[in-house]
Chain A
């Protein structure tokens, strides 16, 4: 088991890439702190992990709020005593061109997608430093490498995450903390289903979304979770500061 004895905090853990990663990391022996704003879903996920024989703590929190992030860390240390892995995965996808995007939508997306990473790292890094090691993984996006239409705010936050990833990698390389990000392409998740559902003809929209995929299909949450597992595992000990596309060639 590649994560035996490790404790991993995963944000946005209730569904999609977060949930698939939580299940996979748990299978590899990690204690999981599943963080999400959706109480019902995150409790269900946590139960599932326990049922599979793993250890899990469900933490209901809005990761854009400092006090809630700090209480996640306190609960983590109280239950598991350490934090080895921080997977900043929580995010939302505001859509539309910039002129149609309200200031409130901009602020909310920047708070959830970007500031949450600052808040979690700010809280967790001192613990990782005192432990002498740690791994941080952030979820950016293939859109940060190549733009797609109607995602101005989303793309700005995701490109900024790559910048933050490189900064953190450099600042903490001597503290034995590795920091990387994954850049998923369009992935089959509840979030995608919701976005497609917003189109007048969801089936047509799905066809159009698939048409732009070089591989002719979406990724699965499990495929992204495998990339996440690699980057947080000891097998990636020499990898830090990278933006790793897992996108079926979308960014080519």
Chain B
């Protein structure tokens, strides 16, 4: 079966850049009409223009996913403009660092509002449309939907929550034509990662550490996550729902992390 999204309408939240931007390009390239939801007006319009200039169908809808009224208005605009909605990629997210003590209440609320509640709000508005003709939701989780990294209490919590929401919705709509799955990327070369690396005095070293953390020896590309999303959104995945698909270069495979593989038990027996 080929990946063909002709005649399909997809909404991608946080679609202006990073994994969202790559997903917009991938789905549009496979024939879908794509609606970008993002708060970044300039980047959103630029991504949409790149696609329409290349002959694709894409439109930008300014939208803060944490605000219910903005979300329902944007979703109804998409339905009006394109006639129906088939696919939702819930990708919008932010990263903030801090442990449970150093994270302020405002930061906690802001991150939860975008990462977790944003997915709820967009799903809430989109599901009634998907129920009409069947559809697929792909939620962008993280390896941090299953494990934790230090000093990221709010982010880890939100990403675990998204996997819970994936499973809950997949079950609630399994008999009604909507599949819901989650992709769980490892470290991906996105503006968010570059931002995070630049918080350090030596961003190059941070990226190098990230490369080493993945058994394949490098971080991932946004396009590699977009491919997994396209697969899960396509009829090729028609028997898959409620799943969490790791796209992490093997990151979660080694017990004790990659450091342990070089010097822990078993290391001395390498031939």
Contact = CB atoms under 8 A, between A and B. Distances in A.
A164 B163 CA distance: 13
B172 A150 contact: yes
Interface string A133-162: 000000000011011111111111111111
Nearest to B161: A160
A106 B120 contact: yes
Interface in A155-206: 155-164, 166-172
B147 interface: yes
A88 to B, nearest CB: 11
Contacts of A106: 117, 120
A156 B156 contact: no
B167 A168 contact: no
A124 to B, nearest CB: 9
Contact of B153 (A107, A147, A154, A167): A167
A243 to B, nearest CB: 10
Interface stretch (A18-26, A115-123, A220-228): A115-123
Contacts of B159: 163
A152 B161 CA distance: 10
A149 B171 contact: yes
A210 interface: no
Interface in B163-200: 163-165, 167-173
B135 to A, nearest CB: 13
B165 to A, nearest CB: 4
Contacts of B120: 98, 101, 106, 152-153, 156
A148 to B, nearest CB: 7
Contacts of B117: 106-107, 110
Nearest to B69: A103
A168 B144 CA distance: 13
B145 interface: yes
B149 interface: yes
Most chain-A Cβ atoms within 10 A of its Cβ — which of B128, B154, B160? Answer: B160
Given A156-B164, A171-B151, A163 B145 contact: yes
Most chain-A Cβ atoms within 10 A of its Cβ — which of B99, B127, B153, B164? Answer: B164
Contacts of A170: 148-150
A98 B169 CA distance: 7
A156 B150 contact: no
B148 A147 contact: no
B184 to A, nearest CB: 12
A154 B173 CA distance: 16
B178 to A, nearest CB: 11
B202 interface: no
A156 B108 CA distance: 16
A125 interface: yes
B47 interface: no
A98 B127 contact: yes
A149 B109 CA distance: 27
Contact of B168 (A119, A125, A147, A168): A147
A114 interface: yes
Given A106-B117, A110-B117, A169-B148, A125 B158 contact: no
B153 A125 contact: no
Nearest to A144: B164
Given A66-B105, A98-B123, A160-B116, A149 B172 contact: yes
Given A98-B169, A115-B108, A152-B169, A167 B148 contact: yes
Given A98-B120, A167-B157, A158 B150 contact: no
Contacts of A168: 99-100, 153
A115 to B, nearest CB: 7
Contact of A152 (B103, B156, B165): B165
Contacts of A158: 164
15 contacts: A97-B172, A97-B173, A98-B127, A99-B124, A106-B120, A122-B105, A126-B101, A149-B171, A152-B120, A156-B116, A156-B165, A159-B163, A163-B144, A163-B160, A170-B149
Interface of B: 68, 99-101, 103, 105, 108-109, 112, 116-117, 120-121, 123-124, 127-128, 144-145, 147-154, 156-165, 167-173, 242
Name the 6 nearest CB pairs between A and B, nearest first: A159-B164, A163-B160, A160-B161, A147-B167, A155-B168, A166-B148
